[in-house]
């Protein structure tokens, strides 16, 4: 089966490309390389994964890729993904994440693609009104990023209703794993690992009792694989661990894995941060057969060893 991955040189995209190629899929990645890491590009080269340079925002060049490769499945993972940055660059986020998605969906329709997997985000939910968060939870984004992903979902649903292609929408929670780019917008696990390896204190905003749902990128790849195969299409699925982990608990995990205490600096809470969030993954478990395989302890141990 031929699979096109947009954002294929990104953090999730390159892991997914390698995963699907190992399973025997014919994979082509499309990426504009604006945020691709050297590590990701190297493993794609080493894995002999075909990478095309292009941008989902440019419709004409996108159609050329579709016309030449003729994918049966498209995984749309190309996006700008930082909540904080989206406040600084809202137009860029809407252009990439909404217009880019529209261009992908139009290409899916015009090229007769059988299935579209849309990589969305738990950011569409905003502040939870109940926990754990199910797929029927109200969507009330708190950032331009979250809103852009929600608009992308609606574009996918609209064009599916109008033109009949199948889709699966995956709302990812806090994804982490090897070769995740480190920058000012990186997630808490990556920053903790970076500091711990250098014997620097870990920075915690607020009292540290806030919770998140961390999911390893390997498990995300498995969720996408199952979405390609499932008969339960035209649905939205949460992809998380289903387990809330507090930031203080995360500090303890890092200390345990390192077998030594780490310093902690507590800072004032950041405005707009969600206090508690974790996924109800029962729908993905029931209909996709999705079960997370990597614990937070295993994932952090891996990162401390490889970074």
Domain with CATH 3.90.25.10 in the chain: 176-213+242-279+294-306
pLDDT at 57: 98
CATH number of 176-213+242-279+294-306: 3.90.25.10
The percent of the chain in helix, strand and coil, each rounded to the nearest 5, is: 45, 20, 35
pLDDT at 41: 98
pLDDT at 272: 75
Burial 206-229 (b: 16+ CB within 10 A, else e): eeeebbbbbbbbbbbbbbbbbbbe
pLDDT at 9: 98
Tell me the CATH architecture of domain 2-173+217-239: 3-Layer(aba) Sandwich (3.40)
pLDDT along the chain (307 residues), means of 10: 99 98 98 96 96 97 97 99 95 99 99 98 97 98 97 99 98 97 88 95 96 98 99 99 98 94 94 90 99 98 85
Give the helix/strand (H/E) hosting 215: strand 214-216
Domain with CATH 3.40.50.720 in the chain: 2-173+217-239
> Of 93, 145, 176, 278, which residue is the catalytic one?
145
pLDDT at 61: 92
Residues facing 126 on adjacent strands: none
pLDDT at 168: 99
d(CA 174, CA 240): 7
Provide the pairing of β-strand 211-212 with 245-246. antiparallel
pLDDT at 118: 99
Under a CB-based contact definition with an 8 Å cutoff, are residues 206 and 268 in contact? yes
Q: Is 145 a catalytic residue?
A: yes
- Tokens, residue 237: 């699925």
Under a CB-based contact definition with an 8 Å cutoff, are residues 76 and 33 in contact? no
Question: How many CA atoms within 13 Å lie on the side-chain side of 146?
Answer: 18
pLDDT at 40: 96
Supply the pTM of this predicted model: 0.97
Q: Give the closest residue to 180 by CA, choosing from 17, 13, 64.
A: 13
């Amino acid at each position: 089966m031929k699979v096109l991955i947009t954002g294929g040189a990104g953090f999730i995209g390159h892991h997914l490309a390698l995963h699907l190629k190992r399973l025997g899929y014919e994979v082509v990645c499309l990426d504009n390389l604006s945020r691709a890491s050297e590590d990701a590009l190297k493993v794609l080269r080493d894995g002999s994964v075909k990478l095309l340079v292009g941008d989902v925002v440019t419709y004409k060049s996108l159609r050329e890729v579709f016309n030449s490769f003729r994918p049966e499945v498209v995984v749309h993972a190309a996006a700008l993904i930082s909540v904080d940055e989206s406040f600084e660059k809202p137009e860029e986020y809407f252009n990439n994440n909404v217009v880019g998605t529209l261009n992908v969906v139009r290409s899916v329709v015009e090229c007769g693609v059988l299935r579209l997997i849309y990589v969305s985000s738990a950011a569409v939910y905003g502040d939870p009104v109940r926990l754990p968060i199910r797929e029927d939870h109200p969507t009330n984004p708190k950032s331009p990023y979250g809103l852009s992903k929600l608009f992308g979902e609606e574009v996918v649903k609209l064009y599916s209703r109008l033109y009949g292609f199948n889709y699966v929408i995956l709302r990812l929670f806090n994804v982490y794993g090897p070769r995740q780019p480190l920058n000012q917008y990186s997630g808490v696990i990556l920053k903790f690992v970076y500091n711990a390896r250098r014997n620097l204190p870990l920075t915690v905003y607020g009292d540290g009792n806030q919770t998140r749902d961390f999911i390893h990128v390997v498990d995300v790849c498995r969720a996408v694989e199952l979405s390609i195969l499932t008969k339960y299409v035209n649905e939205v699925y949460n992809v998380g661990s289903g387990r809330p982990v507090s930031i203080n608990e995360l500090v303890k995990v890092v200390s345990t894995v390192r077998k030594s205490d780490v310093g902690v600096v507590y800072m004032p809470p950041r405005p707009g941060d969600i206090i508690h969030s974790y996924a109800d993954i029962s729908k993905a478990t029931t209909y996709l057969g999705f079960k997370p395989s990597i614990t937070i302890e295993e994932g952090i141990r891996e990162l401390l060893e490889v970074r």
